Structure 1
Amino acid sequence: MSAVDTLLQRLRGRATGPQPCADAGPRFLVTKQSWRGQYHRVLCITPAALITHYPETGDTTNVWSLAGDADIVGLEVGPDSPEGGLFTLRMAPRKGKDVKLACRARTALLTVLYQSLATLQVPIPPALLSPPTLYPTWKLRRGVWVPATLRISSWCVERLDPATGSVRWRLEYANAATPAVHLLEADQSDPPGASCLALFGRAGRSPRVHALRDRAGALRALRGAAQRGMGLVLAVDASAAASGPALLAAVAASGRERGAAEGPLAQWDVLSVHDVAAAAAAGGAGSPTGAPAGSGPPRGVTRRALVLTREALLERRAGDYELAGWRPLARLAAAVRYADDPQWLGLEWGDGAPACAYVTPARDALLAAIVDVASRAAGRPIPVLARPTAPGDALVAARGQAARVPALRPNAEVERIVLGQLTAAARQFAACGALSSSSATLALAGLSSQAGLTGRGVEAGGGGAGVGLKNSGTMTPRQDAAAAAVRRAFARQGPGAPGGGQGAQDPEAVIAAFQQRVRELNACVPASGVHAGSKADEAVVAALVAHLPRQQAAPVPLGLDEATLAIEALQCLDRLASNLVVGAQVVGAAGGASRLFACMLAGNAHLAYEASRLLLRLFSPAAARSGLPAWQAGGCAASLLGPGPLPDGLLGAAGSGPDDP
């Protein structure tokens, strides 16, 4: 069996660990406008409904269905305002007045909304989602014109395989370049009666050259769909003095020159993995591939030569070494070191480009090199995740911010919201008596609650993985055993466990809710840390420390879920510890220092890495903020060792959808 066959067989295996629930969806900070005034809401887009929450408490305020007897029958895009781009939800007569909202990330919000609508297997009102327009076309691929179909919809343009109808390529209007369309000159190799155009995206891939017999009609449909559906004006360059083959030849030559000029630092032979069927389901476009052992549709595997330079990551075809993709490292949002497979590496990008997934035996060497070079190129630390970012973890609030990936820049309003919700969840966590539980028990509690066994107490605003608005009612044997173990563990505490209220009656739901808040803070606050004036309650630090392994006489290997939760807790502590007061709380917490060093001796490389990063934060804050090694950060900054300059030394110097295979 070949390596590719082995990989495909593993891709069909069953997923382990917590999985996103069916109704998890991206979240956006919006401003609701009415005759009573303007007020903020968190808008969660699920496959079947739009849900709004109070930012401070996470309580649900409105639920508007999109399927069946829909509450929303139309959508109208308005002009820009000081609060962001305006759009109006046309409500059904039984729902009363229309709802006017403003969002600074309106383009990303509408893209996700249209994706969700496109996945519904029910009729959609044309006023809400216009039917797509199809144009027969030819796509120029390696000098050969291949028949295809262009589908133009309200949020993207796609190329379909005419034989199967599957999506082979997609360009979202939100990720289109400026100009997005170049009109090309005729060439003797063009199909008879067809005119050519090239579509450009902001991601570092070559343009797509198409030949259409009705180029003018397709161009009008493309620009009209972007204007009506997204409020975007796609720029068109009609002055291009090149044919389709000449353009692709020039792009290939430019790629060769770029690779020679930048100078490669290292190169790896990898398998590039993308979800083939995710293109057919609009909701899966642009999102990272699932867990490496995940069940689901087949994935495409392509051999690539991955070249790392000081400024970019280049994908080259294994056969002819031509440039297949170019990604600037400064836009890297996070790297994913899959905890359940030692060969899988994921990369999440903050510019709207699709996530990458690679398979290589040298995964950790590749990861270390990318994180080191990307931190220097971006001037900030690059987080290393144990699993991909769930759709609802990040709260999108800024113009140009990508959904489904961790935030790149700090946002004071979002930070205040997620920190307040984390504090409330930590207090409930302490009230239910979970502070004295082992990290293994806490991992089992999160697993059992995410199975949908206990939805009580987690409805408040949880849009991310595992904390949904409704229970699935399904239970695997592993989750059943987890729930039983958790209930036995908390039953031993007796009826006098602190709290006595709902938290004590349903501890696994409270624990899962806190763990979800931790993931949300990690996705909403950049790895550089919180603002200097931010404060964290002592209950937050205590609850996070409780997720770390206890110091043992001999190292005890951690389970997969237990190690993942400890990694996420350390990443949350690292962000909070950018405030020196919180850093002192971490060191002074009961068992805080011993558990921190226990993480380094637990036999898990990723856990030891995160513990070392937290130690770097405590002893060299400037280096942690910049993502540089402590001995290269330079400058002076206060630390837990005291204000002012520190001695030099190790801790001393303070300072577009699936692509063609």
Structure 2
Amino acid sequence: MKDSLAKRLKARSCEKMNVIKENKDMACFYTTKHSWRGKYKRVFSVGTHGITTYNPATLEVTNQWPYGDICGIGPVGKGQGTEFNLTFRKGSGKKSETLKFSTEHRTELLTEALRFRTEFSEGKITGRRYNCYKHHWSDTRKAVSLEVTPGGIDQIDPQTNRVLCSYDYRNVEGFVELSDYQGGFCILYGGFSRLHLFASEQRDDIIRCAIEHAGNFIGMTLRLRKEALTFEDFVTDRLGKYSSDESITSLAEFVVQKITPRHREPVKRILALTETCLVERDPASYNIVTIKPFGEVFALICDVDNPQVFTVEFIRGQIRKFSSTERDSLLASLLDGVRASGNRDVCVKMAPTQRGQRWGLLSMPVDEEVESLHLKFLAAPPNGIFADAVYRFNANISYSGVLHAVTQDGLFSENKEKLISNAILALLSQEMELPTVNAELESQFQAIRRLVASKAGFQAFTQLPKSGQGSGVTDATFREKLGVKTVKALKRNNNGVTHAAVDMLCALMCPMHDDYDLRQEQLNKASLLSSKKFLENLLESSSLMCETTEGQQFDMLLEMVASDGRTLFKLFQHPSMAIVKGAGLVMKAIIEEGDKEIASKMQDLALSEGALPRHLHNSLFTISADQRMLTNRQLSRHLVGLWTAENPVAMNLLKRILPTGLLAYLDSPDPVPEKDMDRMHIRDNLKIATDQLNRNKVPDWHG
């Protein structure tokens, strides 16, 4: 699908000017071009066969240079800055021309461009190689070659001459020598001071050359630390700021096969999820192979052809591919951990991120102008292909929502709310003929999710029909059009599409933005949950309940969920803490809010499904600093109380688990600890409503 889309786009762009047909954008940056005519914006693309500049408003190619015509690219001036020069040959002669550009991401742009340095017409710097030893994660020394290049340090296998990995200068924090390790030095790398230890007789040359290259070619300053480390320091702090027990102690572990070009066959690994990191361990020795903080996860990709294969994309560009028989449980647990760490921008999808479609870094949001342009692209795709506009939008807009979603004060300020509304209407107008390719449909739901995560998009769910009248859009409301689209999508029985649709609906019911309106939240829920048939379709995929759901709808939901109680108990076995918590909260609501017959049924199922002993164990023995685990412990204690209340069978079980003699032994004169803080009810809706009422109250004026 992506290939056919790419071919259509190439055909259209090639009609407009003589461009390299095989070229594919690998990394794009939103830059300013400096010329004698003035300064204007350009999308600067580093491609597979050349460098291209695009008009950001139309995506038309304005210039393109094959790498064979490029003489060089480098920073302007010494030290940190934003400007860089691109020098290229003019025509077939020897004359050259230099263009100046500027961007906040100069180091990253130059790094990407210099990956193709060996294809430049001049200055084919191959770098100097040094024989070294690397201290491997297995605690052995391995012979490697290090090549200091203009963009970074390449680690090369001396046997095959293949680059095993690259330490880009942009991610190098500095160098440090080891005082008790002959020729030893560490590269501090990755943004969290991860230590990579090498040893070479030419240590000083390697460090000096790397520092010079980083300054001359990338325009950044690297330094050698004054104080040397000892080997013991290296062992202790090898994982940088994530060397502590909290960062490497597993909360969940999965056996996976790692698929990597380094090895001909997949390698068995243990993928461990800790409170803050994704840790890869060797199953034989349990040594840590790699560690990645959850904050650096960008996206999780499910392979559509193989139900066991998945890929983790990171914000610094790394991609790790694995296969697992427990793929879906692993991904649910990983998604839970990443979001719990504060990274709200991660999502699960079918298609890999096309790095060349994003106009900036994965590690930070794009410029406000870029956001606005991609909102406009949804309403009017510049190349006429809607699917491409959606993919581009998703590649550039954070999953947590449009960042610049409120119109700024000023005479010429852009109406952001209108841009968001128009983008939503464009996506909903596609519902009559859903795309045949599941990945395209998934991308549409994920685009809607990004839009409704903003305040304007959240309000549009009930307000848009008023503004949509007479705008060429059908008279169906946002709710109706979205409902039709969602039900049609759910009938495909595709996990990726279903997940994207349900995640989008969750964003419509539980606001993802700050300073939300409680009344708007209630309106959205009332609108979404008013159709019993729609709910039945949804409940095959998920449970959607919250404190602000209106009473009648809440009762209807409870009854429908309780009718399939056994499925709910299965979720208590899931490794994802978020899923366990969700199941527990639904169970709590069923027993507390439902009638006595339903509550008794749940109590019986708690015994027959073995849930009571499991939650009793969690209640008594969970010790952690992780708020998710403490919340689940509190929830387990509450559920044990609900399942045993007025239930003689459960009480008899507890007496057998905790015999009288044991209870007498455990009896203590110490005072009972004060009540634990409430971690389940973290939102006081009454207080929020009161605050909003007081804020909106019109003051009384005395005549």
Relative to the length of structure 1, the TM-score reads 0.67
Q: Kindly report which structure 2 residues correspond to 1:203-214, keeping only aligned pairs within 5 A, or say none.
A: 207-214=195-202
1:572 aligns with: 447
Letter in 2 for 1:349: F
Shift of 1:642: 6.5
Q: Tell me, in whole angstroms, the C-alpha distance in 1 between the residues paired with 2:256 and 2:364.
A: 27
Counterpart code for 2:503? R
CA, structure 1 residues 263+165, in 2 after alignment: closer, same or farther (shift >3 Å)?
Answer: closer
Aligned 8 A contact 1:550 1:595 in 2: no
Conserved? CA contact 2:45–2:53, under 8 Å: yes
- Distance change (3 Å), C-alpha of 1:390 and 1:19: farther
2:153 counterpart (144, 152, 157): 157
Q: Is the 8 A contact 1:549 1:566 kept in 2?
A: no
Report deviation, 1:264. Answer: 2.6
For residues 335-377 of structure 1, give each alpha carbon's deviation from its aligned partner in whole angstroms, at most 9, with x where no partner exists.
Answer: 1122222111211122x15122221011111111111221121
C-alpha separation between the residues in 1 aligned to 2:500 and 2:247?
Answer: 35
- Partner of residue 184, structure 1: 178
Whichever residue aligns with residue 545 of structure 1, its letter is L
Q: Is the 8 A contact 2:247 2:275 kept in 1?
A: no
- SS for the counterpart of 2:122 is coil
Change (3 A) 1:563 1:231: same
Mapping of residues 107-256 of structure 1, within 5 Å = 107-118=107-118, 120=119, 124-126=121-123, 129-141=124-136, 142-177=138-173, 180-187=174-181, 190=182, 195-202=183-190, 207-243=195-231, 246-251=232-237
Which structure has the highest helix share of the two? 2
- Work out whether residues 536 and 576 of structure 1, in 8 Å CA contact, stay in contact via their aligned partners in 2: no
Residue 305 (1) aligns with residue 270 (2): yes
Matches within 5 A, 1:484-503: none
Give the residue type in structure 2 aligned to 1:525: I
- The alpha-carbon distance between structure 1 residues 268 and 354, as it changes in their structure 2 partners (threshold 3 A), is same
- AA at the equivalent of 2:449: D
Partner letter of residue 621 of structure 1? P
**1:323 shift after superposition:** 1.5
Deviation at 1:386, TM superposition (A): 0.9
What are the superposed Cα offsets for residues 407-453 of structure 1, whole Å, 9 maximum, x if unpaired? 6536311101212223221xx8xxxxxxxxxxxxxxxxxxxxxxxxx
Residues 267-292 of structure 1: CA deviation (Å, up to 9, x unaligned) = 1111122233xxxxxxxxxxxxxxxx
Write the distance in 1 (CA, Å) between the matches of 2:195 and 2:405. Answer: 44
2:74 aligned with 1:76: yes
CA apart distance, 1:48: 2.1
State the Cα distance separating 1:100 from its structure 2 match.
0.5
**Paired residue secondary structure (1:409):** coil
Query: Contact 1:304–1:317 (CA<8 Å) still a contact in 2?
Result: yes
Give the 3 Å change call, closer, same or farther, for CA 153–414 of structure 1 in structure 2: same
Partners of 1:254 and 1:80 lie apart in 2 by 30
Residue type of the alignment partner of 1:105: H
| Contact persistence 2:302–2:309 (CA under 8 A) | yes
Task: Determine the C-alpha separation between the residues in 2 that align with 1:224 and 1:213.
Answer: 19
Please tell me the residue identity of whatever aligns with 2:23: D
Root-mean-square deviation (Å): 3.5
Amino acid at match of 1:331: E
Name the counterpart of 1:34: 35
Distance 2:224 2:79 in 1: 26
1: distance between equivalents of 2:213 and 2:525? 57
* TM-superposition CA deviations, 1:544-577 (whole Å, max 9, x none): 33655879xxxxxx9xx62111100111111222
Match of 1:603 among 486, 493, 498: 493
| One-letter code aligned to 1:521 | F
Alignment equivalent of 1:372, drawn from 333, 336, 339: 336
Q: CA deviation at 1:248?
A: 4.6
Q: Tell me: CA distance 1:319–1:186, structure 2 relative to 1, closer, same or farther (3 Å).
A: same
Q: 1:415 aligns with which of 371, 381, 385?
A: 371
- The one of 314, 319, 341 aligned to 2:284: 319
CA gap 1:303/1:206 in 2 versus in 1, 3 angstroms? farther
Distance 1:514 1:251 in 2: 49
**What is the DSSP-based 3-state SS (H/G/I as helix, E as strand, rest coil) of the residue aligned with 1:610?**
helix
Superposed displacement of residue 300, structure 1? 5.5
The letter of the residue matching 1:641 is L
The 5 A counterparts of 1:530-545 are 530=402, 531-533=404-406, 534=416, 535-536=418-419, 540-541=423-424, 543-545=426-428
For the 8 Å contact 2:132–2:200, the answer to whether it is kept is yes
Identity in percent: 21
How far apart, in 2, do the equivalents of 1:17 and 1:48 lie? 18
Count of residue pairs brought into register by the alignment: 491
Question: Aligned partners of 1:606 and 1:549: how far apart in 2?
Answer: 20
- Distance between the aligned counterparts of 1:17 and 1:607, measured in 2? 20
The separation in 2 between residues aligned to 1:114 and 1:525, in whole angstroms, is 27
The answer as to whether partners of 1:312 and 1:327 remain within 8 angstroms in 2 is yes
Correspondence list, 1:52-91, <5 A? 52-67=53-68, 70=69, 72-79=70-77, 85-91=82-88
CA distance in 2, matches of 1:106, 1:165: 30
- The code of the aligned residue for 2:370 comes to V
Conserved? CA contact 1:204–1:326, under 8 Å: no
Shift of 1:75: 2.4
Asked if 1:339 corresponds to 2:322, the answer is: no
Give yes or no for contact 1:619–1:651 (8 Å, CA) kept in 2: no
Task: Describe the shift of the 1:517–1:81 C-alpha distance in structure 2 as closer, same or farther (beyond 3 A).
Answer: farther
Equivalent position to 1:349, from 314, 321, 328: 314
Q: Measure the CA separation in 1 of the matches of 2:73 and 2:238.
A: 42
Q: Deviations over 1:579-601 (max 9, x none)?
A: 24543559725743212122223
Aligned to 2:217, what secondary structure does the other structure show?
helix
Deviation at 1:86, TM superposition (A): 0.7
Equivalent residue for 2:252?
A: 266
Kindly tell me: are residues 544 and 255 of structure 1, through their superposed partners in 2, closer, same or farther at Cα, counting changes over 3 Å? closer
**Distance change in 2, residues 1:270/1:548 (3 Å):** farther
Deviation at 1:43, TM superposition (A): 1.0
| Contact 2:195-2:240 at 8 Å conserved across structures | no
Q: Choose from 515, 519, 523 the match for 1:641.
A: 523
Aligned positions of 1:547-586 closer than 5 A: 548=431, 562-577=437-452, 578=454, 579-580=457-458, 582-584=460-462, 585=464
Higher relative contact order (CA 8 A, sep 6+): 1
Deviation at 1:91, TM superposition (A): 3.1
Give the partner amino acid of 1:153.
T
Q: Deviations over 1:358-412 (max 9, x none)?
A: 210111111111112211212525221212101212110xxxx34xxxx653631
CA shift in 2, pair 1:272/1:92, >3 Å:
same
Rg larger in structure: 2
Query: Does structure 2 retain, via aligned residues, the 8 Å contact 1:53–1:59?
Result: yes
Aligned counterparts of 1:423 and 1:525: Cα–Cα separation in 2: 15
Indicate how the Cα distance of structure 1 residues 349 and 637 shifts in structure 2: closer, same or farther if over 3 A, else same.
farther
TM-score, reference length from structure 2:
0.63
Distance 1:299 1:107 in 2: 34
Residues 310, 322 of structure 2: 8 Å contact kept:
yes
Relative to 1, partners in 2 of residues 1:18 and 1:550: Cα closer, same or farther, differing over 3 Å? Answer: closer
